[in-house]
Amino acid sequence: MTALQAAASLADDLAAIFGARLKAVLVYGTHAHPHPREVKAPVQTLALVERLEYADLSAGADRSETWQARGLDMPLLMPANEFARSLDAFPLEYGDIIAHHIVIAGADPFAGLAVAEEDMRRACEVKVRSHAIHLREGFLLAGQRPQDVADLILASATPFASLIQTFAQVTGAPRQSPPEALAAHVSQVAGLDRDLIARLLRLEEDHALEPSDAVHLYPPYLDLVEDLIAAIDAWHLEGPRA
């Protein structure tokens, strides 16, 4: 079953739960971005509904194992008016959904919606700093066990790809840029290792990493994130470079 087929089956299930209250179902995240190879990560979906009640969640919970078996992540269920009101609270996450999504059912709900540029810049800084904290704490919890380090890096792959896409967008990269183009742009703008960025972005597609490779990959990965923080710190003095 392809990602879009799995999402379509989800839309059918949600239509049975919500009926006319289901306004739109769409794919976002990894599977909504251009990739030269097959993506193995779970399929992320968003469903916008007229209202969301306990009975709806209960009906969805009964189907959750089936959805996971189809390769789906748990759908993000949200009242339609809540999304637009939350753009300033989640500018990176929702901005990425607005910029990269595939409508599976209903009409495109994002016409005329956009995230404020300053909200995007501020959230980008918060996200990169949070990513560094997560990598440091995760490494301590991993106790230098190679498999746990590999799991840490793999779990961080999609958040890393998201922050790279956002940083690239804020600094003038074209929308819908493939991973290699994103790596080249961020390398040029921030002076970071292009090959390392590209390798980390490929982890989102591969969703696999040998423990022995993870041990060697972690140090330069952490250094790269900290260098990205330094590049963002420069915004306070001169603004982001395009």
pLDDT tens digits for range 103-158: 999 999 998 888 887 888 888 888 899 999 999 999 999 999 999 999 999 999 98
Contact 45, 14 (CB under 8 A): no
Range among 22-36, 41-55, 165-179 rated most confident:
41-55
CA within 13 Å, CB half, 101: 24
Q: What is the rounded end-to-end Cα distance, in angstroms, of the chain?
A: 40
pLDDT at residue 162, rounded to an integer: 84
Q: What's the whole-number average pLDDT of the chain?
A: 91
pLDDT at 240 over 80: no
**Surface-to-core class of residue 90, CB atoms within 10 Å of its CB (0-12 exposed, 13-18 middle, 19+ buried):** middle
| Residue 140: partners with Cβ closer than 8 Å, 6 or more residues away | none
pLDDT at residue 238, rounded to an integer: 53
In this predicted model, what pLDDT tens digit does every residue of 182-217 receive, in sequence order? 999 999 999 999 999 999 999 988 889 999 999 999
Domain ranges, ordered by start, for the chain: 3-106, 117-238
The pLDDT of 70-86, averaged and rounded, is: 94
In this predicted model, what pLDDT tens digit does every residue of 133-148 receive, in sequence order? 999 999 999 999 999 9
Which residue has tokens 């390392």? 196
pLDDT at 27 over 70: yes
- pLDDT tier at 237, thresholds 50, 70, 90: very low
The pLDDT of 157-165, averaged and rounded, is: 89
Strand order from edge to edge, sheet including 101-106: 76-79, 44-49, 22-28, 101-106
Does 183 or 40 have the greater pLDDT score? 183
Single out the residue of 201, 219, 211 nearest to residue 160, CA to CA. Answer: 201
pLDDT at 86 over 80: yes
pLDDT at residue 176, rounded to an integer: 67
pTM of the model: 0.62
Q: What architecture does CATH give domain 3-106?
A: 2-Layer Sandwich (3.30)
Single out the residue of 87, 81, 91, 168 nearest to residue 127, CA to CA. Answer: 91
